[in-house]
A and B are shown apart, each in its own frame.
Chain A
Amino acid sequence: MHLAHYLRLLHRSQTALAEAFREIRRGHPHEPDMYGVCERLAVQCRDQARWLEPFVRRYEPWTSPAQEPERLHQPLFAGTRPGGLGLLRDLHDLYLLVTECDIACAMIAQGALGARDDELLDVVRRCGGELAVQLLWLRTRMRHAAPQALVVAS
């Protein structure tokens, strides 16, 4: 059984995501609309990671840590870059990070179905719903920023 590996993967990604939202907020202090939303989403990611913890404990006894496939965890976000293009690239990285959480959620939901674990299913579906909005927000923000960053700025 490898469910705990995937749960840990998601937990780690969500923790990284929470930190990335905070970092973007700090790295782009002059972007007028980033503060509130990034802070809110950081809290949301941290809460999601917390919801998962009991399930990691639930499935750990059946999972050997040695069995975890190598390179399951890949850092996708490595600090902010300045300027309009930098913001776009940072949000782009964040988008990939959220996508990773999103697909991990989807896989864990499948796993939860297989494990007949309604409680876990409920939690990852809730996470999935919130991640979908995060993706939508990132997409919205990036789409607005792209024309100016790619075509106008020198």
Chain B
Amino acid sequence: MPEPIADHGGRRTPYGPPGGVERLAAALPGRLRDALPSEIGLGSPWPVRVDTFLDEGVTEADVGAWIQNVSATHSSGDALDIAVRDGRIVGVRGRSADRVNHGRIDPRDRYGPSTGDGARLTSPMIRQEGRLVECDWDTAMDAVARRSKELLGPPGGWGRVGFYTGGRLLLEEHYTLAVIAKAGIATPHVDGSTRVGDATAAAALRASFGADGQPGSYTDVDHCDAIALWGHDMAESRVVWERMLDRRLGPRPPAMIAVDSRDAQVAKEADVHLPVRSGTNVPLMNALMHELIAGNRVDAAYVARHTIGFAELCRVVEAYPPKRAAEICGVPAALIEQAAEILGSCERLVSAVLPGFYRSNQATAAACQVNNLHLLRGMLGRPGAGLFQMTGRPAGQHARETGATGDLPGMRNWENPDHVRELAELWNVDPAAIPHWGPPTHAMQIFRYAEQGSIRLLWVSAADPVVSLPHADRVRSVLESEGLFLVVQDLYLTETARLADVVLPAAGWGEKPGTVTGADRSVHLCERAVEPPGEARADLDIFLDYARRMDFRDRDGAPLIGWHDAESAFEAWKACSKGRPCDYTGITYERLRGGSGVQWPCTPSSGHGAERLYAGGRFATDSGVCQSFGHDLATGAEWGAESYLAKEARGRAFLHVVDYEPSSEAIGDGRPLYWDPVSKQPIYSVATVPVTPDAAPDAGAAELAEVGGGAEADGVVPVEVSQRLEEV
């Protein structure tokens, strides 16, 4: 595999920031922007460069059709076209018109669309006398439906069925799965691999701003005068990284800060590199805020008008002068002061928070501190002032929005009875049937319930938890147990699928239509480029088939799932998103076809998606809007509605701040598995085991991305290995 950044070294496209007038224009809402005179350049100044990767021996002239799609290897949402010849995928090409990538793609995207190679599953399978044997769809699906009905019969049946999903499903599939689980089976036991990828990003966004969703836009890279990378591996999001490098090579380049315990590529590029000791992000952030406050660099008017908690923040960070943080973090105080100088003097700051923060001690708290920096300096909601809590999997963002992982659909708050009622009305079911007595069950708890024997049917779609979850040996023994009926829906006979009672062959990326939402809220359309091999089916069709066999009904006896294909599923999702922060109602397949991706929120009247959230400092923290009533960051205790109402947030953001606490690991109690108490993301679970792309193309890059949240540089993929809590 070619090293992309090096490859494009000769094709760099340096550019400078747009002028003040352009910046002003970019800050206007979409409708007003349309009314501006044409001589104002409204597009991004980042030059277009179309990358094409075709199979050896194939030229553009050989390509029969270019089919619109999006990157399957990461969450950036790089739009691409799949090259098809004679019903086979022969390459990919970036889409020049797209707002996210301007034609660039990552060479790994060639491995994104699934290939119909010999290893693919082509027929359903069912376990007979201990062996998996091929069968037809009716036999397989009847077995799943029959077992589901048996389990749902006695009281508490909802608690016997669980779902675990992964990063390859499209938005329509995740939403359909969420409705089946939350209104059909009526179980809270639905989660996905986002739990080990970007649960902390979501938790931090909810905690600070009231709701999930990236505040920034990738165009902020065009406008910014400083870039801060919190936690290594920005270079992993290669196209966004190239955008940053291009700015660095152009006129008036932005300064760059990297907090990174390793000497990675990002660290070499940065002007200030802070190689902090692992697990000490919180004291570093506290020291940076200490310096901003001490140097009078805080936007006092913004903080007073748009935030809550400044006095408490001052009280806590007062104890973190750079000298103290330097001792804890193991970096020179002068470097911390230098970084604070950049953060304090810049006018437009772009931050990206990355796994180095999410998979570390005090994860949610540390990620919230980055939000704090932007709040303290009023660096949100205008061109160049952007914040990204990055995600790993291509489907991560929409999985969270649609409720296929630990949330209610449409970023609704399970503690808010009005939100539950909205869903009940939308689905025409009894509100009591929607599980809302607690948050949706997180992944490791689902496996724990299966281990204890109370979950007895587990349906794994597009994920390989035996490989990708921590405690692999325990996960395996849970899935092997006699009492558990395991359904696995995947492209290949994965390690998990080998343990299944029923295996359902699914269609891969490029073999099914639907939409994908990228990290900066850009929604992209994927068209079907080729047919899935053999009898493999789109995941959506499998879920719809199950819903039919289960005969899920609404209150009036009509089918619960009223849609029948991707586009009608998207329309159903739009109705669910209406009025919520992630409003999709203005987006249609027709608008997405041919042109660029469109960002949510997008209502029919606006015509354009909103480029940035929280313009004017209005946040989603109103008690009727917010996605969560908040948690204690140290324990995960829920504050509850009463306490939230007493805070009178009314659209102001929360400045959460905590003291540094050494990790449990540092206490010296063995090397236990540790979970962030708020996001329930595993922290000490990932060991990096090299898996070369040569060994992995069969798995497809979407599956690579599945393992540990995104393939790493140099073909090294993080593979989570088992650890034994018993040793503690």
- Residues of A with Cβ closer than 8 Å to B? 25-26, 29-33, 35-37, 39-41, 83-84, 133-134, 136-137, 139-140, 143-144, 147-148, 151-154
Contacts and interface: CB of A to CB of B under 8 A. Distances in A.
A147 B186 CA distance: 13
Interface of chain A, main secondary structure: helix
Contacts of A133: 632, 634-635, 637
Contacts of A147: 159, 437-438
Contacts of A41: 635
B302 interface: no
Contacts, number: 97
A153 B677 contact: no
Interface stretch (B310-318, B447-455, B703-711): B447-455
What DSSP secondary structure best describes chain B's contact surface?
loop
Contact of A33 (B439, B636, B639, B661): B636
A148 B725 CA distance: 23
A133 B633 CA distance: 11
B437 A152 contact: no
Contact of A151 (B156, B445, B661): B156
Interface size class of B (residues with CB under 8 A): 35 or more
B677 A152 contact: no
A140 B159 contact: no
A41 B661 CA distance: 12
B2 interface: no
B675 to A, nearest CB: 5
A29 B723 CA distance: 12
B318 to A, nearest CB: 17
15 contacts: A31-B448, A32-B673, A33-B442, A33-B677, A35-B725, A35-B728, A37-B677, A39-B667, A40-B664, A84-B454, A137-B636, A140-B638, A147-B159, A147-B437, A152-B160
Nearest to B643: A136
A5 B170 CA distance: 64
B672 A152 contact: no
B308 interface: no
A30 B636 contact: no
B238 interface: no
Contacts of A25: 728
Contacts of B638: 136, 140
Contacts of A153: 159, 452-454
A36 B640 CA distance: 22
A25 B726 CA distance: 11
A151 B448 contact: no
A84 B639 contact: no
B543 interface: no
A37 B454 contact: no
Nearest to A144: B438
A147 B155 CA distance: 11
Contacts of B726: 29
A154 B91 CA distance: 53
Contacts of A154: 453-454
Contacts of A134: 635
B635 A30 contact: no
B229 interface: no
Contact of B448 (A32, A36, A39, A136): A32
Contacts of B160: 152
Q: Which 7 A-B pairs have the closest CB atoms?
A: A152-B159, A32-B444, A137-B637, A136-B637, A151-B156, A152-B156, A137-B635
B669 interface: yes
A33 B673 CA distance: 9
Given A136-B632, A137-B635, A137-B637, A36 B664 contact: yes
A143 B453 CA distance: 20
Contacts of A151: 155-156, 159
A30 B452 CA distance: 10
B393 interface: no
Indicate the member of B448, B636, B637 with the most A CB atoms within 10 Å: B637
B637 A140 contact: yes
A36 B159 CA distance: 26
